[in-house]
Amino acid sequence: MWKVVSVYCAVLAGIRAAPADISFAPINEFALQLLENTYAFQENFDKKNIAISPLSVWSIFSLLAEGSAGETFLELMKGLRLPRDLRTTQAMHRAVNGQLKSSKEDVFLKQQSAMFTDCSLEVHPDFCEAATTYSTEIYSVDPSNTTKLANDINLYVCLATEGLITNAVTPDLLQDLRMILVDALYFKASWTYQFDPSQTKETSFYNIQGKNIGSVNMMYQKAPHNIAFPDQIEAQVLEMTYGKNGQYSMMILLPFNGVPIKRVLKNLASQSMDWISELRDSGSGTDVDCFIPRFKLSTRQDLMTPLQYSGIVSIFDSKKAQLPGVSDSPLYVSKTIQNVEIEVTEEGTTAASSTVVGLENRILGQRFEANREFVFLIMERSSNVILFAGVYGEPSLV
């Protein structure tokens, strides 16, 4: 389960060398909270592998915060840990964009964002300007042709992720949307100390009870890495760097024996991040015997519920969302679809994500689409006597 944490950390480590006057700590607080909430949500479906790209979510929703008002604004400020004035947020954005770029041969990182809007939607100039400040490209489209729109978005994401994500959205996900915000992140890096493929061996993988639940291709190396055992996190932490200059790294957090992954996630979300500087100060330079499985994750999920767990609620509510600064049409966010692809090998890591946030009109005609399990009752109307009743849950073509 520690796999999860690594995705986040690839990004985290990249933003450590920040300009002195801007703190990125709020973004990481948001990220760790979202990770905890995403795990809690996915647990309901018995999903054990999760991967998120929290920075993209933070970027898109902090842009929307600029166009929000009332409760929607207050929830976004609190949930995203935004500073009180928007200028500081914009400065944070620019600093992140400036920081998160690398086109070296051994570390390649890029982030791209775009806004696709209904050409008949009057987007406020201030909002367009804010989007431009955040280096968001603006495209005017006809959203009623969802097939074409899906193709346009998928092409954008495919190019932005060097072909790693080819199918970010399907036309059915874009029904009724009037504005779509897209953020794509691509990362490819070689380990500072690469693993020797001839040392990789198939070994068992266990659950918390120590039960063998399958096998992995376990890679091995002995190399100088930072390692620490922060009690407040209740996990053993290893940091493996990328590239010659080690500006990026992956952290792997392995819970202490018997500690559930959930508790480690809770610790990460609730404790200060001092454990990182402790790790770097005390753990450096020792040769460590490292066994890390080769792995690949591919996920697509709607992050709406995890964001609601984080206190961002009314923006998703068709009755309550307040986004007057975006356009005069009353909009709300109906989708937050994130795809993540990550592969860890002997050589290094490739990871990509696409985040697609869709906004719908709040005042649409009522919609009723019985496209999932439903109950039916046949009744006489003056007496309300039920004549037939049933459930339809297994589709067939009759």
Residues engaged in binding ligand NAG (CB under 6 A): 145, 147-148
Q: Which is nearer to ligand NAG, 117 or 327 (CB)?
A: 117
**CB of residue 180 to ligand NAG, shortest distance in Å:** 16
SS3 sequence of the chain: CCHHHHHHHHHHHHCCCCCCCCCCHHHHHHHHHHHHHHHHHHHCCCCCCCCCCHHHHHHHHHHHHHCCCHHHHHHHHHHCCCCCCHHHHHHHHHHHHHHCCEECCCEEEEEEEEEEEECCCCECHHHHHHHHHCCEEEEEECCCCHHHHHHHHHHHHHHHCCCCCCCCCCHHHHCCEEEEEEEEEEEEEEECCCCCHHHCEEEEEECCCCCEEEEEEEEEEEEECEEECCCCCCEEEEEEEECCCCCEEEEEEEECCCCCHHHHHHHHHHCCCHHHHHHHHHCCCCEEEEEEECEEEEEEEECHHHHHHCCCCHHHCCCCCCCCCCECCCEEEEEEEEEEEEEECCCEEEEEEEEEEEEEECCCCCCCCCCCCEEEEEECCCCCCEEEEEEECCCCCC
Minimum CB–partner distance for residue 145 and ligand NAG (Å): 4
Of 147 and 204, CB closest to ligand NAG: 147
Question: Cβ closer to ligand NAG: 140 or 147?
Answer: 147
Q: For residues 173 and 326, which CB has a smaller minimum distance to ligand NAG in the complex?
A: 173
CB of 280 to ligand NAG, least distance (A): 52
Considering the complex, what minimum distance in angstroms separates the CB of residue 152 from ligand NAG?
Answer: 9
Query: Which lies closer to ligand NAG via its Cβ, residue 148 or residue 280?
Result: 148
**Cβ 335 to ligand NAG shortest distance, Å:** 20
What is the closest distance, in whole angstroms, from the C-beta atom of residue 139 to ligand NAG in the complex?
Answer: 14
Q: Which residue, 147 or 245, has its beta carbon nearer to ligand NAG?
A: 147
Nearer to ligand NAG, 88 or 144 (CB): 144
Provide the minimum distance between the beta carbon of 118 and ligand NAG in the complex, in angstroms, as a whole number.
15
